[in-house]
Chain A
Amino acid sequence: DTAVSQTPKYLVTQMGNDKSIKCEQNLGHDTMYWYKQDSKKFLKIMFSYNNKELIINETVPNRFSPKSPDKAHLNLHINSLELGDSAVYFCASSQVGGYEAFFGQGTRLTVV
Chain B
Amino acid sequence: DAKTTQPPSMDCAEGRAANLPCNHSTISGNEYVYWYRQIHSQGPQYIIHGLKNNETNEMASLIITEDRKSSTLILPHATLRDTAVYYCIAVNYNQGGKLIFGQGTELSVKP
Give the interface of A toward B (CB within 8 A).
4, 31, 33, 35, 41-45, 48, 50, 55-56, 90, 92, 94, 96-106
Cβ-defined partner of B49 (8 Å) among A50, A55, A100, A104: A100
Contact A101-B96, Cβ < 8 Å, known A42-B101, A43-B101 = no
The 7 lowest CB-CB distance pairs between A and B, nearest first, are: A103-B43, A43-B101, A100-B46, A55-B96, A103-B44, A90-B43, A99-B91
- Near A by CB (< 8 A), chain B positions 31-83 give 32, 34, 38, 41-46, 49
Chain B residues, CB < 8 A from A55: 96-97
Chain B residues, CB < 8 A from A99: 32, 34, 49, 91, 93, 97, 99
Instruction: Quote the shortest CB–CB distance from A34 to chain B (angstroms).
Output: 12
Main secondary structure of the interface of B (DSSP, over half): loop
Instruction: Quote the shortest CB–CB distance from A62 to chain B (angstroms).
Output: 20
Q: List 22 A-B contacts (CB under 8 A).
A: A4-B43, A35-B99, A42-B101, A42-B103, A43-B44, A44-B101, A48-B96, A48-B98, A50-B96, A55-B96, A55-B97, A56-B98, A92-B43, A92-B44, A97-B96, A99-B97, A100-B49, A101-B44, A101-B46, A101-B97, A104-B43, A105-B42
Least CB separation from B44: chain A residue: A103
| Cβ-defined contact, B96 with A56, below 8 A | yes
Instruction: Quote the shortest CB–CB distance from A79 to chain B (angstroms).
Output: 25
| Cβ-defined contact, B46 with A45, below 8 A | no
Chain B residues, CB < 8 A from A104: 43
| Cβ-defined contact, B97 with A105, below 8 A | no
Given contacts A56-B98, A90-B44, A101-B99, 15 further A-B contacts (CB under 8 A): A41-B85, A42-B101, A42-B103, A43-B38, A43-B44, A45-B99, A48-B96, A48-B97, A55-B96, A56-B96, A97-B96, A97-B97, A99-B99, A105-B43, A106-B42
